[in-house]
Amino acid sequence: MDYASLPAREIERLARNVAPGAWAVERERPLATLLGSCVAVCLFDPQTRIGGLNHFMLPNMQRSSHGEVDALLAGDYAMEALLNALLSQGARKARLQAKAFGGGTIIETTGQSLAIGQRNAHFARDWLKREGIPLLASDFLGPWSRKLLFLPGNGDAWCKRIVTSHATAEVIAREEQAYAATLNKPSEPDNNVELF
């Protein structure tokens, strides 16, 4: 299907949603996400026509006291996971290109949390520079959330800034907090593990 010829609303309807702490790699199907202070990085290889998107909440993350953490919430791990997934499906690092979005300040708070969006945006730029992957387009920071659509086959991305109403901020904050809360629960032992 030629997704590029479809209206943005139809692309959004057909897109695979990428939640906080997740990533996805596709050859054709569009990818979408909703960002607040989080950042999403789109990587694509124009020759193999494969791309992917991640959605991370923090630049890096320390392990909790019980040793459990969803590392994909952290940019350092999320970037490596996305890069390795693309390479395993035939992309070449030397051809990768990037687009990155997010890092908004959508909830007025005090303290360290105020800088999360800035820290995420700074991390994404630094990581791409360090890895030698050109950042072709970006939209970082500001007092708004963003809706992102990405076509992995050709690298097209649409970023719509959303004036953050109290209701929108609550939805984004609730989604991010619900996911982060799962980190505080010790995982159940897996009784299906075979030791050898």
Residues assigned a catalytic role: 38
Phi, psi of 187 (to 5 degrees): -75, 150
Q: Distance (Å, rounded) from C-alpha 104 to C-alpha 101?
A: 9
What does the DSSP assignment read for 161-180?
Answer: EEE--HHHHHHHHHHHHHHH
For helices 75-88 and 116-131, give the axis angle rounded to 10 degrees: 40
Separation of CA 14 from chain center: 18
Residue found by looking up tokens 């299907």 in the block: 1
Q: Are 102 and 150 in contact (CB under 8 A)?
A: no
DSSP annotation of 182 reads G
- First vs last Cα of the chain: how many Å apart? 46
In 3D, which of 177, 157, 155, 22 has the Cα closest to residue 107?
A: 177
